[in-house]
Amino acid sequence: MQQFISLLDTSTMVLMSAILFFSLTGVLTYTYFYRKTYPGFGSFTLGQLAWCVGLFLIFFRVLGPDPSLIIGNSLIFLQGILWYRGIALYGGIDHIGLRNSFTIALAVLCESCLLYYTFVDFDTCRRVFVFSTYCMLVYGRIAIEPFVVRNWRTYSMQTVFSGFLFFISVSYAFRANESLDALQCALGGPDPIVKTLLLASMLLIPLLAFCLLSMTSGRVEAELREARDALRKQAQTDFLTGLPNRRHFLHLAEKALDRARERGEPVSFIMLDLDYFKDINDTYGHQTGDVVLRAVARRLAEALRDGDEIGRLGGEEFGVLLPGLDGKDAEEVAERLRQAVAALSPGGHTVTASLGMASGATGLNALLARADGCLYAAKGAGRNRVVAQACPMVESPEGASI
């Protein structure tokens, strides 16, 4: 491997690296301006650009030997600052400026050391040590902190992203250690460690860019799923009570009824309507009526068993499906619901309910019609009571208030 590395021309490697890295920077820049991105992506993109220009100056020194090295190193220091800021923004943590102040202070210290070992006490090995130590600390921090800092959000490919950066950090640690005992170090020269780092960067930087794009894509997909689920819930839920709305409740009830038929189990349906609810709205206002509806809905849901289905059918009317119950057992549940409503006093207002109950393995529409007839009978008998399916069928006149 060492023999293979020795055959590689450093200038050619740097030129190929520069072309590759500038191309990747172009991809990140395009993504930043024309695709959905998140806080931190812009810092990553600027950091990548700073790294590309810095690497080019260090090796080609188009501004002169010393200015190119100083400016190039400064840009790579800036890349570490920007990348830490990017990963912190991406993780959604607080006090990012305070956290990044350590990276900025370290960059200023290292830059001062580089200036000292360039213009005061010329020592190329010390310059290599300072530069490598900075890269080791900063890349290691970017790799590790997302997994050790509390409340730092991580996303898909984060582990791979951190793994690559940790490898780079270890490589710079090895280079820093080698420079301590070296008598002469070629800055940006053809030494095997520099070539190895160039080869590693040509592999790892594209993978890091891929990880960043994958993390962004994964986050977009997660948000789309959340938005889809939220829209579905919104379409299925009554906004006032939080119960399933009429359409979704009837869908759930139909499925529960099908399961009951398959198992040969009885099913009962309860239709519940609040008594004189219009008077509450007319006397105290619709806000008070909303308070009453929310309290009743919450209490009804608490009084039911797991597997029972409840929904708001509209206005002050609720539906309840009781799989596995009929006859006396279902009537007891209906009576418990009536008592639960009567025991409430939402906003200091007394409220009662009338309930109609029907049982059988017929279709849902038939159960609804029978329960509605019993509810109308309960209203006619004086309200605040339960009437079961044994009542004579009484059809409510169209448009009449019961």
CATH number, domain with residue 170: 1.20.1070
Count of alpha carbons within 13 Å of 84, Cβ hemisphere only? 27
Q: Which residue has the higher pLDDT, 299 or 9?
A: 299
CA-closest candidate to residue 29, choices 212, 281, 275:
212
Last residue of a domain, one of 233, 256, 278: 233
Q: What is the pTM of this model?
A: 0.60
Question: What number of other Cβ atoms are within 10 A of residue 180's Cβ?
Answer: 11
Number of domains in the chain: 2
What is the span of the domain harbouring residue 330?
Answer: 246-387
Q: Which residue has the higher pLDDT, 361 or 75?
A: 75
SS3 258: helix
Contact of 275 with 350, CB cutoff 8 Å: no
What's the DSSP call for residue 348? G
With cut-offs at 50, 70 and 90, classify the pLDDT of residue 326.
Answer: confident
Q: List the catalytic residue out of 316, 317, 331, 398.
A: 316
Same domain, 136 and 216: yes
Last residue of a domain, one of 210, 233, 256: 233
With cut-offs at 50, 70 and 90, classify the pLDDT of residue 375.
Answer: very high
φ/ψ (deg, to 5) at 309 = -115, 135
Last residue of a domain, one of 208, 233, 258: 233
The answer for residues whose C-beta is within 8 angstroms of residue 113's C-beta and 6 or more apart is 126, 127, 130
Looking at the domain assignment, is residue 40 inside a domain? yes
CA distance 248 to 194: 65
Looking at the domain assignment, is residue 25 inside a domain? yes
Same domain, 250 and 228: no
When the pLDDT of each residue in the chain is averaged and rounded to a whole number, the result is 86
Same domain, 277 and 351: yes
pLDDT beyond 90 at 275? yes
Integer Rg of the chain from CA: 36
Looking at the domain assignment, is residue 397 inside a domain? no
Same domain, 207 and 283: no
Same domain, 204 and 273: no
Residue 358: strand pairing partners: 269
Share of the chain above pLDDT 90, in %: 46
Q: Which residue has the higher pLDDT, 273 or 21?
A: 273
Looking at the domain assignment, is residue 53 inside a domain? yes
With cut-offs at 50, 70 and 90, classify the pLDDT of residue 358.
Answer: very high
Q: pLDDT tens across 107-156, in order? A: 999 999 999 998 999 888 899 899 999 999 999 999 999 999 988 988 77
Q: Is 316 a catalytic residue?
A: yes
